[in-house]
Structure 1
Amino acid sequence: MSSANPGKGYSRDSNYITTRITADGQDGFPVEPGRYRLVVSLACPWAHRAVIVRRLLGLEEALPMAVAGPTHDKRSWTFDLDPGGRDPVLGIERLQEAYFARDPGYDRGITVPAIVDVPTGEVVTNDYAQMTLDMSLEWTAHHRAGAPALYPPDLRAEIDAVNEEVYTDVNNGVYRTGFAGSQEAYDEAYERLFTRLDLLSERLERSRYLVGDTITEADIRLFTTLVRFDAVYHGHFKCNRQKLSEMPVLWAYMRDLFQTPGFGDTVDFDHIKKHFYLVHSHINPSGIVPLGPDPSGWLEPHDRAAMGGRPFGDGTPPGPPSAAETVPARPAPAQAASHS
């Protein structure tokens, strides 16, 4: 959960529950298929990372997923998309209940993604950064055949370095811009954001992906912020030097990823817009959710394949999502539109 701090810069609460689910169960929670439930919101960029990684690695059966509604109040995310407003497995109305089951005095953010231990109903972890790395490194026994290496050993140092820059200036940078409590704080965050986007554009002019010649954790972490850029951050968060669609290299890079199985087919623009424009009432007091932008451009040709690279390395694309996890129909290609 996030909010502005009047007169000051934005500071993210990063005090997470850092218990890990590992192959050896070192923290008391061993990897065990079906034991845990990944709770996400399709609106949230931090949770969206876990949705993509889970899908690319084929962990859908081993790590079942619960989807909270796109909005929340001051107390918690809620399961209002489910019959009776309760998660059918955990039996709870609010994610808050799983946090209080872990710690009755819990007084930090009720955040997604969170992994809940189904037998006890307790949150195990909401440490989103470690969570996706552990999906890659600790859940290997349950990866699908052909699962890609999203965090390969020889590239980890470079991936970590890129992730740190992207987190500071872009992932968190859009929030530091949108929730700035003073003009000075806004100006500083805005400049850092667009300076970093310019540097990323230069990097991606030479390489199809951020690190190496395949999709890695670094691409996933950048994707979940930039896919929300024009729909939310450009206007709602005043990140308005340019739209993503006006930055040619980044726009082509993002279309390439969007059209890759596991990326665009996990994006729900309706949930994204409802969350940001309704929950942040201090920024958008009217509660009006914009109808645009037109999403059809996401399926226009990107021509990035000519740069080489192999999206999944020695692996293969994931299959289509299950009926239960299919998001609303993807936009039709703009060039397919007909007029009569």
Structure 2
Amino acid sequence: MSRVGVVLPAAGSGERLGSAVPKQYIQILGKPLFMYAVEQLISFSWVKTVVLAADDVATMRHFLSSLDDPSKVVVTLGGTSRHESISRALKVLPDECEIAIVHDAARPIVSEQVWKGLVLEAAEHGAAGLTRPLVSTVVQPDLNGFLHATLVRKNFLNSETPQAFSAAILKAAYSKMSDEERINGTECLDLVHRHCNVRAKLVPGPSDLWKVTIPRDLHVCEGTLSALDCDLEIVNLDCEGGEEVSQAAKALSAGLFWKTKSEPTFREDLINTCSSRQIIFLPLEMLNSALKSYQRQSGITVFILRQASRGEIATIFNTSDALKENKCAVIFAPNLGQTVCLTQLVASIIKYPNAFYGQVLKC
């Protein structure tokens, strides 16, 4: 693995969030938002340095003093724009770093597999960045606010972070950027393309790739991060679900850093000796037997059903007392491909189990 340094611009105001406190300092479960990314990154043995471009160096260092080992973290004063902050951070990035990752302090949850994949792509191609499909149609207005043009959505992608670069290429691109780019630019991949003629490798990002941008994101973030501390299993007992269930279970596991139980089987000790949180994919016909054999003292079990008719759903509602008594909830998920929706719903249930005992939900 190449020697890697990470640049975290954290000098923004969080205007879209509508908070009086800059976004990077908003407390999530008793910790500033930016600290989640920092703590994860410095835990990787292959990351040599994390450079924070901060709005207030003293404030940032105060929070970093809580780290067991802050020696990997360098703080420098950021600028009034994203590109200016990144430019300043690159100036203090150690020369020994061969790969420079640019991330977002408001994106606290990225799996190590994603990080490593980007580093390998950048080492081969000079630049690499995550993308996600557009979910809304993009239109261009004219000067009077009327429709001028509509983009063909399938031809475009959302550019996401993290992004990874040859450190030499990224530094060269920033040394050549114009004042206009410095003030108004936001896309690093475009900068290395314009000034260094390097076309970045675009890597499809995971479906649960998100960042804190608007107020509702804070609730999802809190629920998801809270769930990371839970003792939780994801179990697949839906043998007929095939690849669809397998992919959904993997998406949950990757999105929430949970471990999927290897080769699970439906037996009494799997239910009765489970961890404090358990997600079980199973067919409807197994639900009643699971409830009869299962008693939970704390935590919650979430049963995810892939198929059920209208009458069968009504039957599930009739079992709500048993679900509540045994600290269970049911998610009816006919479209398991909607992994972002499923992950967010599960995160909420794990965060607030008492509110979901006996609930039958649809995703």
Which TM bucket (shorter chain)?
under 0.3
Structure index of larger Rg: 2
Indicate the structure with greater strand content: 2
